[in-house]
């Protein structure tokens, strides 16, 4: 399988090159040249995440160095479950399904993609070359997931950039508790600044001259493709037991998680509608409403991991659906403000006893705003992107109590923390990486 850039450069690369490069040389994002087409029968007998993943991702790795390792990599990456459940008490409103993607080491869905990528890089690393440095811009969860996935892997290093003061204290501790091969920088700027610095670093001759750089942001195909696996697995399971397609509501920022779902559906997996639930950063809902693409500076919200004003993966979505009309047929989007997030966390704790993280609350609020007919005409599943225990500062005052911290997360929060502060230009990053 070959991959091309969304920006139209003629060159084609294989799977591992796409992973190692992160971003295409013309600044675009890698997408498959052709799509595999699956039928449901192709997955007969495959029920677990690694089993479904092996069949779903095999065509992408055909002829690549990673082909023979794919099964082992998937078992390593998908070593924890992605359970789905019906929210008890929601039946009268059409029944709300929730897919929990937060049972990994850093309690957010990004563990899946980060672990897949780390396992791939460990196989791909050339021991004769200098350390492969993974640059990652994070609005909160990416950095922790990537750091956890790459920590202490030989020949690999991680540089985390996060916006100073714009991640929660609990998140910051997860970004800065690693040491060893992981360095963390608080950037005096926004997440968009961090993302721009990473993009600039990749095309910077000075840095590239003495460093092997790669990315682990959701722009990396190796983060995005494995995320299609849980949608495929969950969609198949629903189809087999209920004979209908499951529709997903996805709390979205940079659109990596959503594009993975849309890709899975595009390849033939039984997935119904996709509703993008954004916070007050409403670039995507506005685009769908007006047809004008107007990226803007990101705004700080309670769902901080979704504070993205210029979602990178829109480029992949528009590559798949270049016409606004076909895009309208493929996704819908809503924007939910902080007041509604708070109200949703409070209400659903009282009503259902469920504790949502602020990001998941955006998705659940989007579900609650559907018309009763829309809620009953098909089955909706909200993707729960993180454990509420990652955001105690926000959640605990709303529920008037403590959130139980999963043991793996508690262990991370106990580690000593260290980071450096830098300005928001490429020059600052160059000297920091020295």
Residues that bind ligand PLP (CB under 6 A): 108, 110, 140-141, 218, 251-258, 305-306, 359, 385-386
Give the sheet arrangement for strand 271-278, strand by strand.
84-86, 96-100, 379-384, 246-251, 271-278, 332-335
By the 10 Å C-beta count (0-12 exposed, 13-18 middle, 19+ buried), 329 is classed as: exposed
Q: In terms of CB distance, is 133 or 257 closer to ligand PLP?
A: 257
**Measured from the CB of residue 24, what is the shortest distance to ligand PLP in angstroms?**
19
Cα separation, 143 vs 171, whole angstroms: 9
Q: In terms of CB distance, is 211 or 304 closer to ligand PLP?
A: 304
Cβ-Cβ contacts under 8 Å for 221 (sequence gap 6 or more): 3, 15, 18, 19, 29, 30
Q: In terms of CB distance, is 98 or 426 closer to ligand PLP?
A: 98
**Measured from the CB of residue 57, what is the shortest distance to ligand PLP in angstroms?**
18
Q: In terms of CB distance, is 168 or 254 closer to ligand PLP?
A: 254
**Measured from the CB of residue 359, what is the shortest distance to ligand PLP in angstroms?**
3
Cα separation, 403 vs 83, whole angstroms: 20
- For 52, 67, 211, the CA distances from 78, given in Å and listed in that order, are 11, 17, 30
Q: In terms of CB distance, is 61 or 386 closer to ligand PLP?
A: 386
Q: What residue number has its CB nearest to ligand PLP?
A: 141
Q: In terms of CB distance, is 90 or 252 closer to ligand PLP?
A: 252
- For 180, 304, 309, 417, the CA distances from 254, given in Å and listed in that order, are 29, 12, 9, 27
Q: In terms of CB distance, is 211 or 215 closer to ligand PLP?
A: 215
Q: In terms of CB distance, is 137 or 157 closer to ligand PLP?
A: 137
**Measured from the CB of residue 86, what is the shortest distance to ligand PLP in angstroms?**
21
How many Å is the Cα radius of gyration of the chain?
A: 20
**How many CB atoms are closer than 10 A to CB 125?**
17
**Measured from the CB of residue 156, what is the shortest distance to ligand PLP in angstroms?**
22
Q: In terms of CB distance, is 218 or 247 closer to ligand PLP?
A: 218
**Measured from the CB of residue 256, what is the shortest distance to ligand PLP in angstroms?**
3
**Measured from the CB of residue 312, what is the shortest distance to ligand PLP in angstroms?**
9
Distance from CA of residue 169 to its chain's centroid?
Answer: 21
Q: Which two tokens mark 30?
A: 């890698």
Tokens 């714009």 belong to: 166
Cα separation, 250 vs 81, whole angstroms: 18
Strand partners, 100: 384
**Measured from the CB of residue 84, what is the shortest distance to ligand PLP in angstroms?**
17
Q: Which two tokens mark 112?
A: 């899946």
Strand partners, 215: 135
**Measured from the CB of residue 107, what is the shortest distance to ligand PLP in angstroms?**
9
Q: In terms of CB distance, is 66 or 303 closer to ligand PLP?
A: 303
390 and 170 Cβ atoms separated by less than 8 Å: yes
**Measured from the CB of residue 357, what is the shortest distance to ligand PLP in angstroms?**
6
Say which DSSP state 63 is in. T
Cα separation, 65 vs 14, whole angstroms: 9
Cα separation, 102 vs 118, whole angstroms: 18
């Amino acid at each position: 399988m070959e991959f091309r850039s969304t920006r139209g450069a003629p060159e084609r690369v294989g799977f591992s090159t796409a992973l190692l490069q992160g971003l295409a040389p013309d600044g675009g994002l890698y997408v498959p040249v052709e799509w595999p087409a699956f039928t449901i029968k192709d997955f007969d007998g495959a029920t677990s995440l690694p089993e479904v993943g092996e069949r779903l991702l095999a065509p992408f790795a055909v002829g690549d160095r990673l082909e023979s390792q794919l099964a082992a990599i998937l078992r390593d990456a998908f070593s924890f479950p992605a359970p789905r459940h019906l929210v008890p008490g929601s039946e009268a409103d059409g029944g709300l399904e929730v897919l929990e993607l937060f049972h990994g080491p850093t309690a957010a869905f990004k563990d899946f993609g980060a672990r897949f990528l780390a396992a791939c890089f460990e196989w791909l690393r050339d021991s004769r070359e200098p350390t492969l440095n993974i640059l990652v811009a994070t609005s909160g969860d990416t950095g922790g997931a990537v750091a956890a996935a790459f920590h202490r892997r030989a020949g690999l290093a991680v540089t985390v950039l996060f916006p100073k003061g714009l991640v929660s204290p609990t998140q910051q501790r997860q970004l800065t508790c690693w040491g060893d091969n992981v360095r963390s920088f608080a950037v005096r700027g926004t997440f968009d600044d961090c993302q721009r610095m990473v993009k600039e670093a990749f095309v910077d001759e000075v840095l590239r001259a003495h460093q092997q750089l790669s990315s682990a942001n959701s722009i990396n195909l190796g983060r995005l493709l494995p995320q299609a696996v849980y949608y495929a697995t969950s969609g198949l399971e629903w189809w087999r037991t209920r004979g209908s397609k499951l529709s997903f509501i996805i709390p979205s920022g940079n659109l990596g998680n959503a594009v993975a779902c849309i890709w899975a559906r595009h390849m033939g997996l039984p997935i119904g509608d996709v509703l993008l639930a954004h916070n007050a950063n409403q670039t995507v809902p506005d685009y769908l409403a007006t047809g004008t693409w107007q990226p803007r500076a990101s705004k700080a919200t309670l769902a901080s991991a979704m504070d993205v004003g210029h979602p990178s993966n829109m480029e992949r979505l528009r590559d798949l659906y270049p016409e606004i009309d076909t895009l309208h047929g493929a996704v819908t989007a809503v924007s939910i403000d902080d007041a509604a997030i708070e109200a949703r966390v409070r209400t659903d704790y009282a009503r259902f006893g469920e504790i949502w993280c602020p990001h998941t609350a955006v998705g659940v609020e989007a579900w609650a705003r559907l018309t009763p007919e829309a809620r009953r005409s098909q089955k909706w599943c909200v993707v729960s992107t993180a454990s509420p225990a990652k955001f105690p500062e926000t959640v605990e005052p709303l529920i008037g109590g403590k959130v139980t911290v999963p043991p793996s997360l508690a262990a991370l929060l106990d580690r000593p923390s260290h980071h450096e502060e830098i300005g928001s230009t490429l020059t600052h990053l160059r000297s920091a990486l020295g």
